[in-house]
Structure 1
Amino acid sequence: MPAYNEAANIAAAIEEVHRLVMPHVRTAEIIVVDDGSTDDTAALLKGLEAKHAALRVVRQENAGHGPALMRGITESDADLLLLLDSDRQIDLAAFPAHLGRMKANALDALLGVRTPRNDPTSRRLLSRMMRRIIAARFGRAPRDAGAPYKLIRTETWRRHVAPHVAADASVPSVLAAIILLNGTEARTEEVEVMHKARAAGRSTLNLRRISALSSRAVTEIRQLHGKLGRRTP
């Protein structure tokens, strides 16, 4: 769970994971990567670590959401990864059903699809553009590649995703979804997740940062296409 200036959300975000996820995977660990926050996020996390034995906080200089997510993944030694953001926009009430679906269908990965999408128009347009670019390059595009809700077996990540995604990737979640749905034998399904409007705090993605992120994402998607040897349909 990456966190950058999420003082308004971080405590509730961890409480939600503790309440809705942990009872179903009792040996799990909550890893939060504080990506150089300049507000009270670090102080709050310090107090939360004392309260929750399963919480581990990793602190780093600000590197961006993608590298923070990658840092959290490399820090984990669990058998199953749950990739989340710290803004509490994903309703976790369906997690037990999703975990059961993974087990029942012997899945390697479950990719969330935000429904309905409660984000500003600029964010939704960015996702739509990414989907078109992915479809043009790979033939098959995830319905919501950037959704901050993915259940992936660690062995699947290490075998299929890690070789193609750099530690400083700006959109590793997007790249993972592309890889898992295009040309691997990983058993992957997409599932709708309830997406809520941000209840507190403000997104740090303004138009300038969205533009820069879009440019980097397009470059990384193009590079992934080259690595995987796919031909544009």
Structure 2
Amino acid sequence: MTDYPDRAKEPEFSVVIPFHNESENLPELLLEIDAALQKLGQAAEIILVNDASTDRFERPPMSPHFPVRWLDLTVRSGQSAAIYYGIQAAAGHWIILLDADRQNDPADIPSLWERLQEEKLDLITGIRRRRQDNWQRRWMSWIANRIRARLLADRTSDSGCSLKILRRDLARRLPGWNGMHRFIPALACGMGYRTGELPVHHRPRQAGRSKVRPWKRALEATVDLVGMVWLVRRQFRGRLRDPEAR
């Protein structure tokens, strides 16, 4: 793990990418992320969190201009666990979350960052435009988003979009439990952070296989939602004031 004892040398951004068996997508994805980060004009790092993949790389994927850090989970633990451990290892002041399937376009990152700064947000999430998923996934997502929004009032249109930018202090307050990644905006709202959203592109999967099983996910999400309603109502809303903002 890279150590940054001097805060002045810490990167501005840490891109956290959880993955399982995405060897065909990662090399091209890293090039796309590299191009997006160059437009931001800040120091950054990329953290790949391998959720016990069983495929093999001929060589570790690299980024031309930014350091790539590789974390390996000992057993397959799921997307939430991979995100959680990636965040704990991140040194950047801002965390960029992104799936490895290349359906979200890293070229949207600069636009998200610009909107976040304009509106002085703590978290911004994408809204997938013209989703390139089958009708079953789109239909179940539509229902889930409306039920979640009614119960949690998280002001989020598309909680399932993996592309997000959030403050590191917010990211490190996220609980380490399975299903957490589905409710990041709701958790942020419940803790009193400012959240927003912006339409982003959505692309068809070009390589690899989806790990999502719609009906299994629907059952898991329903159980998780019950726990989330309780948690959001019980968690602390306050946070420490930034001394530099005085």
* Interval of TM-score (by shorter of Structure 1 and Structure 2): 0.7 to 0.9
Matched, 1:143 2:157: yes
Q: Secondary structure at the match of 2:70?
A: strand
AA aligned opposite 1:213: E
Matched, 1:27 2:43: yes
Q: Is the 8 A contact 1:142 1:181 kept in 2?
A: no
- The offset of 1:87, in angstroms, is 0.5
AA aligned opposite 1:95: I
Q: Is the 8 A contact 1:109 1:189 kept in 2?
A: yes
Q: Which of these residues, 40, 43, 57, is aligned with residue 70 of structure 2?
A: 57
Deviates more, 1:140-149 or 1:92-101: 92-101
Q: Which of these residues, 137, 142, 161, is aligned with residue 123 of structure 1?
A: 137
> How high is the sequence identity, in percent, across the aligned residues?
26
Deviates more, 1:8-17 or 1:208-217: 208-217
AA aligned opposite 1:2: P
- Residues 1:121 and 1:157: Cα distance change in structure 2 (over 3 Å): same
- Residues 1:119 and 1:9: Cα distance change in structure 2 (over 3 Å): same
AA aligned opposite 2:21: N
Q: Which residue does the alignment assign to 1:176?
A: 184
Q: Which residue does the alignment assign to 2:198?
A: 191
Q: Secondary structure at the match of 1:197?
A: coil
Q: Which residue does the alignment assign to 2:12?
A: none
- The offset of 1:228, in angstroms, is 4.2
- The offset of 1:216, in angstroms, is 4.2
Q: Which residue does the alignment assign to 2:55?
A: 39
- Residues 1:217 and 1:47: Cα distance change in structure 2 (over 3 Å): same
Matched, 1:110 2:110: no
Q: Which residue does the alignment assign to 1:7?
A: 23
Q: Secondary structure at the match of 2:159?
A: coil
Q: Deviations for 1:166-210, whole angstroms, at most 9, x for unmatched residues?
A: 31322x2332111334571x2321100011111111101234642
- Residues 1:97 and 1:197: Cα distance change in structure 2 (over 3 Å): same
Matched, 1:227 2:234: yes
TM-score (norm 1): 0.83
Q: Which residue does the alignment assign to 1:166?
A: 175
- Residues 1:220 and 1:126: Cα distance change in structure 2 (over 3 Å): farther
Q: Is the 8 A contact 2:145 2:159 kept in 1?
A: yes
Q: Where does the alignment leave 5 or more consecutive residues of structure 1 unmatched?
A: none
AA aligned opposite 2:158: D
- Residues 1:52 and 1:36: Cα distance change in structure 2 (over 3 Å): farther
Q: Where does the alignment leave 5 or more consecutive residues of structure 2 unmatched?
A: 1-16, 237-246
Q: Which residue does the alignment assign to 1:206?
A: 213
- The offset of 1:226, in angstroms, is 4.3
Q: Secondary structure at the match of 1:29?
A: strand
Q: Is the 8 A contact 1:131 1:141 kept in 2?
A: no
**CA–CA distance in 2 between the matches of 1:224 and 1:125?**
27
Q: Which has the higher helix share?
A: 1
AA aligned opposite 1:93: A
